[in-house]
Amino acid sequence: MPTLINRSTTRTDPVRNFKYQVQLFHPDSQFNKAIGEMGFMTVEGLAMNTEMVPYREGGWNTNPHKLPGQTDFAPLTLNAGVFWNKTGMWDLAKQMFSVQWGNGKIGLLDEYRYDMAVRILDHPVTKGSESGTGGSTDGAIMAFAFYNCWTASIGFNGLNAMDNAILVHQMTVHHEGFDVFFGNSEAKSLIHTSGGGGSRVSIR
């Protein structure tokens, strides 16, 4: 006789994709706060791909051997509505421009790289700390951690006096790899640590 699932204790629903938090880990706390309060509409580019290197062996004409090559990570694209008092995206873009322009040696607070975490929150939870109120991470059930990020581009949608839409800006972020954390204990406990090997997002 088949065993019935106890649905009062076992989760059978997949994770939802519309309730999440974006957090920056930057040496300058003003960027962490500014980006964390923006409320991004979409986060795209959660993907990795390992290049295939074909090798043709002499005398073996049926098919090439397929070897793994370099692994690359897709750039992240983040979209948000424009608010007159939320300048986080533009501030990051200006910082990158000042680095490219060349203002001498880069100090700690002039660092253009940062790490970033995207936490997926549980649903349906609409009140209390587990709902994400006040930036709480108590309700996180899954998280992505991105390493050595930098802002590549900022763009705004077009203006049209005949339209009835909102102004949206978009940020493209390159990074050098990401990790995925499953479960509440790991997802909510991501912090930024630094040491002899550099800084990195890790579990508290």
pLDDT given at position 197: 47
172 occurs within a structural domain: yes
Question: What is the number of domains present in the chain?
Answer: 1
pLDDT given at position 17: 92
The CA-CA-CA angle for residues 155, 44, 49, to 5°, reads 120
CATH of the domain at 182: 2.30.110
8 occurs within a structural domain: no
Cβ-count burial 83-108 (b if 16+ within 10 Å, e if not): eeebebbbbbbebbeeeeeeeeeeee
53 occurs within a structural domain: no
pTM across the whole model: 0.82
138 occurs within a structural domain: yes
56 occurs within a structural domain: no
pLDDT given at position 196: 47
100 occurs within a structural domain: yes
Per-residue pLDDT of the chain (204 residues; tens, 9 = 90+): 566 666 666 666 888 899 999 988 888 787 777 787 778 999 999 999 999 999 999 888 899 999 999 999 999 999 999 888 888 888 888 888 777 666 555 554 567 888 999 999 988 777 777 777 777 888 889 999 999 999 999 999 999 999 999 999 999 999 999 999 998 888 888 776 655 444 556 655
15 occurs within a structural domain: no
161 occurs within a structural domain: yes
Q: Which residues span the domain enclosing 104? A: 20-48+67-203
Q: With contact defined as beta carbons under 8 Å apart, do 46 and 144 qualify?
A: yes
Task: Determine the Cα–Cα distance for residues 73 and 194; give it in Å rounded to an integer.
Answer: 23
